[in-house]
Amino acid sequence: MALKKGYEIWNSTTGVSTVANKITFVTGTNPRPASIVPQYFEGSSDIDWLVFDNVNSDVWGTATGQRNGIMVDDGSVCRLYDVKGFATSDTVLNCPWNKLSAWLSIIADTTTTNLSVQGQYNGTYPALPSVFGYCYTVVLTATAGNWTNAQLTAYDINSIALLFPLDYLNSDISVVSCTSTVITLTLCSKVALGTNGYNGFPTANFLGATTLTWGFTAY
């Protein structure tokens, strides 16, 4: 079988690869698109990498510092490799399935004596997000709110946290003030938010509010 070399992005035993040069691929089994996304711990520069295995286009390549590749199983170890996708005129070059198509072609090549695999990143990866990301004062205004005793419960705060997709929330949610109609919070996200946050934030029947508006002001 032909020798194949390229960049390993991550593996489940040693974590993010720090090797500057290409290494020999372990072709493994069960190839599928996967991503790793950086996550900082609040109040420190410690970083963790969240693994999104067997992903689709909806969660592909959107977070700051995210690295996308092809994951394979090597016994009890999972390995994520850097692969440049194939594309036609009507597809995105490095979408999940184009990367997978390229990987399968690489694995099928048994004639090239020494195959140096072309990657999307080739050792130069997207910049990491800042430690605290993008921080906001969030004002929730309800025209007919009925938050019990003008307080938020842990369940309420968790409900707000769950509105952030892909673990983009980069801090605790701190309650600055709360009345029966206005809640003021602070939080940080790994990506920039518009004035109304993400599309799909509920405007009714959330935390007991019949009509709710969101306001995000960066600080």
Q: Do 99 and 152 lie in a common domain?
A: no
Q: Do 141 and 107 lie in a common domain?
A: no
Cβ 32 vs Cβ 88: under 8 Å: no
Q: Look up residue 7 and give its DSSP letter.
A: -
Answer whether residue 45 shows pLDDT above 70.
no
Tens digit of each residue's pLDDT (9 = 90 or more) over 111-160: 887 888 999 999 999 888 766 677 888 998 887 666 655 677 888 888 88
Q: Which domain holds residue 108?
A: 3-116
Q: Is residue 20 part of a domain?
A: yes
- 3-state secondary structure at position 59: helix
Q: Is residue 61 part of a domain?
A: yes
Distance CA 115, CA 200 (A): 46
The alpha carbon torsion through 161, 167, 169, 171 (nearest 10 deg) reads 100
Ramachandran angles phi, psi of 189, nearest 5°: -125, 155
Answer whether residue 23 shows pLDDT above 80.
yes
Tens digit of each residue's pLDDT (9 = 90 or more) over 67-76: 999 999 999 9
Q: Do 147 and 107 lie in a common domain?
A: no
Q: Look up residue 70 and give its amino acid.
A: I
Answer whether residue 89 shows pLDDT above 80.
no
Q: How many domains does the chain have?
A: 2
Tens digit of each residue's pLDDT (9 = 90 or more) over 161-188: 888 876 778 788 888 888 878 889 988 8
Q: Do 82 and 146 lie in a common domain?
A: no
Q: Token pair for residue 8?
A: 């390993």
Q: Do 111 and 139 lie in a common domain?
A: no
Q: Is residue 212 part of a domain?
A: yes
Query: End of a domain among 88, 116, 144?
Result: 116
